[in-house]
Amino acid sequence: MTALAALQRALAGEHAALYVFGVVGGRVSASRQPTLRDAVLAAYTTHRGRRDRLTAMVRAAGGEPVAAQLSYRLPTPCRTADQLRAAALTVERRCADVYAAAVASTTDADRRWAIDALGECAVRQLSFGGAPEPYPGLPEL
Amino acid sequence: MALADAVLAREQALLDRVLATLRAHPATGAALRSARHAHQAHVRLLRGAVPAPTSATASAAPSGTASGTSTGTPTPTATRTPAPRAQRVAVPAHVPAALAAVAGAEQRLAAAERGAGLHARSGPFARLLAGMAASAAQQSAHLGTAAREGRR
């Protein structure tokens, strides 16, 4: 995969992440799940920042940033608190996967950024009920 | 592969620290289970990638596995202690401090593996190192939380 293709895939992943976190953030109860709500809001802010950064990185690499789709299939029905948490966890796992792929396809500053993003996604998984894993972002291992 | 050698040495050192902490404080078993599993997996994988330095002890069966079958290696016994050349690790006397010490070591390991991933020549190896760094970052967060809960 070229560096540009890897950045575009990461950007597409962040578009999807923002959609799901937007839905999850709208459905999580501030009064009954304050911890989950705080984690979702923090995740949304982080993913939005990464989307903007990736948009700039794609342009710098000479590409036209891939656009967001109108809607995405939610990873869970997103009705109960457990389903909302699981949806958030799935999104963080998928983002970890695309950032790990981006690490392999990039060099220098772009790779450094992808390495950091992978680490952030991995740590954030814990706030959505994920357990530590030997190889975050590397599903084949 | 100097880079892979250095990564293996760091992973082994952290595994030794986890095992020493488990010996000193059996009550940390639940908190440290995933860290032990992760670093054992990393050491095993890196040993497969890095040519063995010299000794047969370096390839001793991974400790803590439930398997009773021999793998056919001539190693006399698969002991639970780390290799004899392992450095001695000072373990804090109280459980929360001991967990916090491992959390700090995981954080330093994560930083070192991020740097190694940046400088790896091959993309796939960089990805592997980034995954190991992310694993250590998870452990640092997980054990930091466990240490704080233990102080309450």
Sketch out chain A's domains with CATH numbers.
3-127 (1.20.1260.10)
**pLDDT value for B54:** 54
**pLDDT value for B86:** 54
Q: Is the pLDDT of residue A18 over 90?
A: yes
- Which of B35, B117, B138 shows the shortest C-beta gap to A122? B138
What is the per-residue pLDDT across A66-84, written as a single tens digit (0 to 9) for each? 999 999 999 999 999 999 9
Tell me how far apart the alpha carbons of residues A16 and B72 are, in angstroms, rounded to a whole number: 49
Q: What angle do CA A127, A105, A72 make, to 5 degrees?
A: 50
Q: Is the pLDDT of residue A55 over 90?
A: yes
Q: Could you tell me where the DSSP H helices lie in B25-122?
A: 29-49, 95-119
A31: exposed, middle or buried (C-beta count within 10 Å: 0-12, 13-18, 19+)? Answer: exposed
Q: Higher pLDDT residue, B75 or A43?
A: A43
Asked: is B2-51+86-151 a CATH 2.60.120 domain? The reply is no
- Tell which B residues from 24 to 43 touch A, by Cβ distance under 8 Å: 34-35, 37-38, 41-42
Tell me how far apart the alpha carbons of residues B9 and B87 are, in angstroms, rounded to a whole number: 11
What is the per-residue pLDDT across A111-134, written as a single tens digit (0 to 9) for each? 999 999 999 999 999 999 999 999
**pLDDT value for B70:** 41
Q: Is the pLDDT of residue B104 over 80?
A: yes
The C-alpha R_g of chain B, in whole angstroms, comes to 16
- Which of A100, A115, A122 shows the shortest C-beta gap to B118? A115
Average pLDDT rounded to a whole number, residues B63-70:
41
Answer whether A132 sits within 8 Å of B42, measured CB to CB. Answer: no
**pLDDT value for B150:** 85
Average pLDDT rounded to a whole number, residues B78-88:
51
Q: Give residues with Cβ within 8 angstroms of B146, minimum separation 6.
A: B31, B99
Domains in chain B: boundaries: 2-51+86-151
Tell me how far apart the alpha carbons of residues A115 and B113 are, in angstroms, rounded to a whole number: 10
Encoding tokens for residue B12? 């082994």
Average pLDDT rounded to a whole number, residues B60-78:
42
Which chain A residues touch B if contact means CB-CB below 8 Å? 96, 99-101, 103-105, 108, 111-112, 114-116, 118-119, 121-123, 125-126, 131-138, 141
Q: Is the pLDDT of residue B115 over 60?
A: yes
ipTM of the complex: 0.96
Q: At what angle do helices A3-27 and A81-105 cross, to 10 degrees?
A: 170
**pLDDT value for B2:** 87
